Amino acid sequence: MARIQSHRDLEVYQLAFDAAMRIFEITKGFPREERYSLTDQIRRSSRSVCANVAEAWRRRRYEGSFVYKLNDSEAEAAETQTWLEFAVRCDYLDAEAARSLYKVYDRILGKLVMMIRRPEKWVIGDRGTRGGGDKGTR
């Protein structure tokens, strides 16, 4: 297992970043009238998943702060799934493409929940190990 040096080394971050970029590309085809609503919302929530993971990583000196930011990331991932559902219902997104992304977010959510349930594997200090973590989430 490679040592985790930054948030970019976390598999959950990499999955979320790639998914956000896929969403960015897909939403370029959304109708112009959705620019300031659905398009903006799904882009923001998908990007926020990664941003909150990055922030959580830098807050791992304090277990509560670490878990709080991971919870924010979890909420943003669920929000992104909701926007995907709207995009399908509005006929802006093919159901199969949405299903594929939805599954990626299910995987992201699973990894986030695992980190939230076992923060001691991630925090720095007496209770955690620096750059630790387990293979499934890195």
For 19-72, how does the pLDDT look when each residue is reduced to its tens digit (9 = 90+)? 999 999 999 999 999 988 999 999 999 999 999 999 999 999 999 999 999 999
Cα separation, 31 vs 90, in Å, equals 10
Cα separation, 135 vs 1, in Å, equals 7
* Close Cβ partners of 88 (under 8 Å, ≥ 6 residues apart): 94, 95, 98
Cα separation, 70 vs 16, in Å, equals 13
pLDDT averaged over every residue in the chain: 90
Q: What Å distances lie between residue 41 and 23, 35, 37, 81, CA to CA?
A: 11, 9, 6, 11
Chain centre distance of CA 70? 9
All structural domains of the chain: 8-121 (1.20.1440.60)
The 3-state DSSP class for residue 55 equals helix
Q: What is the number of other CB atoms lying within 10 angstroms of the CB of residue 136?
A: 10
pTM of the model: 0.87
